Structure 1
Amino acid sequence: MSPPMNPSAADVASRHHVARDDTSLNVVEWGSAQPAVTVVLTHGWTLSHRIWEDVAAALVRADPTVRVIAYDHRGHGDSARVSTASIEDLADDLAAVIGARVPRGPIVFGGHSLGGMTLMALAQRHRHIIAERAAGTAFVATSAGDLLGALRAVPGSDAVLRAALAVGARLTMPSRPLWLLRQVARGAFGRHPRRHDLNRAVLQGAQSDPRAVAALGRSILRHRRYPAVAAFAGLDVVVMAGTRDWLTSSGHASRIAAQLPDAELVLCSGAGHFLPYERREVVTAQLLHLIANARSRARSGVAG
């Protein structure tokens, strides 16, 4: 088992705040101030920008000319705590981040889990951003809809899930005892997770606002955006999934890829849901490929 990459990228990152609709969003940036290509990364449910910090550090080490931006969804990480949120809100937040921090130039997007759903909602609500600015996209352990399909086929299951989310909205996620919570988090990881990664996933969850988490959980249950995926046709797209991911399985990845005939489908054997941690090297390599293609098109004057 390889040791975890040093997450000290946070020490050299710059922090900013973007305001939208009386909500303050925490934005973290690495790399060049004058990039040819900017990478914008969106994180998953209950997590924060820190799920991407290892990948961001590796991208900048491999290509110092690139700029990488990750941010915390409302109610997550160091962004403002909120009483409610939806995937539509997150898409509008992402549009605000792009307008404030990436007003020009080609963008390579990377969306993990809920972050990938946010990209799909961005394509619905701000299609011009995808059409005019997107040069490539990595959908990482995400879904275009019908999550927990087998479970939700059971009569009454949706009502039970909504009730559980309502209870969860009143409970603060604990961060201790860490050793016990690691065992809970382990269920969403694949084979041989690193303790450091388990710890970080638990601590990110504890930092999130339970009200926002519950509201977004309800929004995720409503999420079905297969038609929105078509907005990414013609772009460089990679769709990634872990073979041991029971949340957004390889079947979800295959259905996204099926909407995009030119997309590359990458299945990570033995990995679970947390690919930016579990397969950080593979995710980094895929993003570097998208960046290289985007830079090549920018040099040749192709819009992106």
Structure 2
Amino acid sequence: MSKVARIAKRMEYRFPRPDDAWLHVTEWGSPQPDVTIVLAHGWTLSSQGWEDVAEILVAADPTLRVLAYDHRGHGKSAKTVASLDILADDLAALIEAVVPVGPIVFGGHSMGGMTMMALAERHPRLVAERLVGVAFVSTAAGNLLGQYRSLPGFHRFAAAALALSARVKLPSRPLFLARQGTRRGLFGARPRRHDMNRAVLQAAQAHPRCVAALGASILEHDRHVVLSSFAGLDVVVMTGSRDRLTTVEHARIIGQHVAGSRVLIFRDSGHYLPYERREEVTAQLLGMATKARVAVPDWAGAAG
């Protein structure tokens, strides 16, 4: 265990949902925080993808509470199928039950960022009343794989690929082929072998049918209109110059739709910024938490 991990106070538990499903939740930091940071992971990953950032956060500021969770069908959560709408409802219920008071800074990687956009669509009051900062990390508001969508047969091919993925489970041991595919498709110029192995292991935990269902939901994702809901919040959009899935153009479009936001492009980095740029991502979240503390009196007065 790393020095940072020893410093971080950590606990894990299940958060039950009414359909007999559950979310596996991990918390770090203070039980009585003035700011809570909620982190949501990407497609085929798990909350472990955020653990480096979470541990650095609470080591830097032990007064923070950091919460990360596994989406349905991922990590240690229930192996049930889902859509982005269902993930948004899960997130709303988790916040209302586990973080009932206080300002929230949200970090969403890839599908986690899309879940936050779906939350703004389905639970706008929660976003307006509770969030003070949002980090959209390697994500998009729609038009995924836009460079291929106009090709003849794209939708038939995508449907067939997702149907096949519903029947295929990755091996639990990292394979050279899987690591190479992860490196070339999702990581940037100089990935750490340890990070690639962790990404493959997380993908092996994901439930194939849920991965396929969410893949279809992600391809239908188009929430550019709801991005205006985040105007007035402290919003940063982060992307890697070598991200082939959620590209620099996707990040810039989010920035254009959210007034006052800032877009950060990390040279030679890929899609896995919580690993590849853990320090920079952490610094942005820490900065948001600092600004959130200034907003606490206003928030408390409004809540009262």
What is the letter of the counterpart of residue 166 of structure 2? Answer: A
Which of 238, 241, 260 is the matching residue for 2:239? 241
Partner of 2:114: 117
Q: 1:148 to 1:7 in 2, by over 3 A?
A: farther
Which structure 2 residues correspond to residues 285-304 of structure 1 after superposition, within 5 A? 285-299=283-297
For 1:237 and 1:147, how far apart are their aligned partners in 2?
Answer: 21
Which structure 2 residues correspond to residues 16-95 of structure 1 after superposition, within 5 A? 16-20=13-17, 21-82=19-80, 84-95=81-92
Offset at 1:179? 2.9
Q: 1:111 to 1:177 in 2, by over 3 A?
A: closer
- For structure 1, the 5+ residue unaligned runs are none
Q: How many residues align?
A: 300
For 2:7 and 2:223, how far apart are their aligned partners in 1?
Answer: 33
For 1:251 and 1:176, how far apart are their aligned partners in 2?
Answer: 35
Partner of 2:172: 175
Q: Work out whether residues 88 and 115 of structure 2, in 8 Å CA contact, stay in contact via their aligned partners in 1.
A: yes
Partner of 2:187: 189
Which of 75, 79, 101 is the matching residue for 1:104? 101
- For structure 2, the 5+ residue unaligned runs are none
Offset at 1:119? 0.1
Extract structure 1 runs of 4+ deviating beyond 2 A: 5-12, 175-180, 299-304
Partner of 1:278: 276
For 1:72 and 1:153, how far apart are their aligned partners in 2?
Answer: 33
For 2:6 and 2:196, how far apart are their aligned partners in 1?
Answer: 19
For 1:133 and 1:63, how far apart are their aligned partners in 2?
Answer: 21
Cα RMSD, aligned residues only? 1.7
Q: 1:131 to 1:300 in 2, by over 3 A?
A: closer
Q: 1:294 to 1:115 in 2, by over 3 A?
A: same
For 2:250 and 2:218, how far apart are their aligned partners in 1?
Answer: 14
Partner of 1:166: 163
Partner of 2:129: 132
Offset at 1:11? 7.7
Offset at 1:281? 0.5
TM-score by length of 2: 0.95
What is the letter of the counterpart of residue 163 of structure 2? Answer: A
TM-score by length of 1: 0.95
Instruction: Summarize deviations over 1:209-240 as a string: whole Å, max 9, x none.
Output: 00000000000010000011111010000000
Q: Work out whether residues 117 and 227 of structure 2, in 8 Å CA contact, stay in contact via their aligned partners in 1.
A: yes
Offset at 1:178? 2.6
For 1:92 and 1:156, how far apart are their aligned partners in 2?
Answer: 33
For 2:102 and 2:174, how far apart are their aligned partners in 1?
Answer: 45
Q: 1:116 to 1:247 in 2, by over 3 A?
A: same
What is the letter of the counterpart of residue 287 of structure 1? Answer: L
What is the letter of the counterpart of residue 228 of structure 2? Answer: A
Q: Work out whether residues 232 and 259 of structure 2, in 8 Å CA contact, stay in contact via their aligned partners in 1.
A: no
Q: Residue 154 in 1 paired to residue 169 in 2? A: no
For 2:249 and 2:60, how far apart are their aligned partners in 1?
Answer: 32
Partner of 2:213: 215
